[in-house]
Structure 1
Amino acid sequence: MRKITGWRWTFFIGGMMIMALGITMSIKGKIVGTSPWDVLHVGLFQNFGLTIGTWSILTGFLIVVSTSLVLREWPKIGTWLNMLLIGSFIDVFNWLLPSTEIYGLQITYFVLGLFVLSFGCGMYIAPNMGAGPRDTLMMILVEKFGGTIKTARMGIEVLVTILGGLLGGPVGVGTVLIALTSGYIVQYSLPYCRKVLMKCIGNMEGMM
């Protein structure tokens, strides 16, 4: 049982690390824009200092507190870890990955980042250790006001993109591309990661 739990935590934390790597790569390729939430985080960073990862943590914390008040319950530990670790990993990778002003390399950063962050998203969701703050907000909006998950997500992302754009965040065709395509990549990466996870757990059960 302990080994099964260990595999679940490995996928959860490893997936968040991979997702943060992809987010950082897309930010390094911001000449074409970055994801809606990172438009906001970069805009806040440019205007008020701190780091992009810190703003990711702070906005996540605000969402966690707000959703907890609405639900009248504290979220799972996985939600708190999602909030803290992704922002921390973003700052680490932002320091490790070299920046470039070469247009072609920024495009490469962005395209690779799109696939990496989407795969990482599927990987961290696979073990079902707790939804991220932004995913929780999306589900609450659907529960309280109706509509579809797609509509709720789009509404949130349009709002944060506008706010981030007003702060000078990197809005561009890449912002739209991530918003429209990342979900489709996660749609394939999630069942794949679940299959791999179950295979790892199955091997462990066979050894017990």
Structure 2
Amino acid sequence: MKRQLIYVGGLWILSFGCALHIELDLGASPWYAMLVGLSETIGATEGVWMILMCVVLAGINSLLHRKWPDPTIVFTILLSGVLVDVSLYGMLQHMPIPTTGIVAYLLFALGLLLSAIGIVLYLKAMFGVHPIDDFMLGVMKRWGWNYLWSRTLFETIVILAALLLGGPISVATLILLFATGPTIQIVDTVMKGRRKKDHTATIVS
């Protein structure tokens, strides 16, 4: 049960961090910029488009891995979409979010940190792989590309799609594209160090 709670909490923190970037209007991460573009161009909420996009990716991943999707993917897909809309329309919509000035940039950095923390938590829970991450793994396995190259190429394509759809693409999007990976590594290192410290303290006591 603890693992599932960490997984849900991680996805929620990730969704909130990305939703914060959308509300700040400084530029969203590639995937969320595309969701906004789809929502504003075609209709439906970002969460609905997240679900539809994940369903398509789950099908592609099944072909890449040459096996049926894990049943837990249904829970992951639905939860991802719900949390996006809850964060955007149930929480941040009712909060005063500055879009200019130093506070906006600090909130942008906070969104990046929250996104990294969320990713580390839900990956560490090892409950289910998100279709986006599973796609990266499938590409790596099928064509032998490394993770960084796979992610950069794929998210560059997503950025172009977001631009065509009128999504919130800016310099901040490029910052998120190249800063998210290193931030995840830093958060992961800090969390590993803290767990090791707590374990040592438990043994000593």
Following superposition, the deviation at residue 171 of structure 1 comes to: 0.7
Match of 2:48 in 1: 54
The answer to whether the Cα contact below 8 Å between 1:126 and 1:191 also exists between their aligned partners in 2 is no
The whole-number CA distance in structure 1 between the counterparts of 2:133 and 2:110 is 23
Tell me what 1:43 maps to.
Answer: 37
Distance in 1 separating the partners of 2:198 and 2:85: 31
* 1:131, distance to aligned residue in structure 2 (A): 1.5
1:133, 1:55 → 2: CA distance? 14
> Residue 21 of structure 1 is aligned with which of 11, 16, 22?
16
Mapped pair 1:135 → 2:133: yes
Hey, what's the Cα distance between the residues in 1 that align with 2:44 and 2:193? 39
Quick check: 1:142–1:148 contact (8 Å CA) kept in 2?
yes
Instruction: Give secondary structure in 2 for the equivalent of 1:126.
Output: helix
Checking the alignment, whether the CA contact within 8 Å between 1:39 and 1:169 is kept in structure 2 is yes
Q: Deviations over 1:77-133 (max 9, x none)?
A: 443333221221110111121364641254343221111111111011112112110
TM-score by length of 2: 0.85
Deviation at 1:19, TM superposition (A): 0.8
Asked if 1:146 is matched to 2:144, the reply is: yes
Identity %: 28
**Structure 2 matches for 1:25-174, cutoff 5 A?**
25-30=20-25, 32-95=26-89, 96-97=91-92, 98=95, 100=97, 102-104=99-101, 105-174=103-172
In the alignment, the residues of structure 2 paired with residue 129 and residue 54 of structure 1 have an alpha-carbon distance, to the nearest angstrom, of: 23
8 Å contact kept, 2:77–2:130: yes
Q: Distance in 2 between matches of 1:164 and 1:138?
A: 19
- 1:130 and 1:189 map into 2 onto residues whose CA distance is 20
Compared with structure 1, are the counterparts of its residues 197 and 15 closer, same or farther at alpha carbon in structure 2 (3 Å cutoff)? farther
Aligned-residue CA RMSD (Å): 2.4
Letter of the aligned partner of 2:68 in structure 1?
W
Q: How many residues align?
A: 196
- 1:9-44 CA-to-partner distances (Å, cap 9, x unmatched) read 1111111111111111111122x2110111111110
Residue 200 of structure 1, CA deviation: 9.6
Q: TM-score, normalised by structure 1?
A: 0.84
Report the Cα offset of residue 56 of structure 1. 1.2
Letter in 2 for 1:158: T
1:72 Cα deviation from its structure 2 partner: 3.1
What amino acid does structure 2 have at the position aligned with 1:103? T
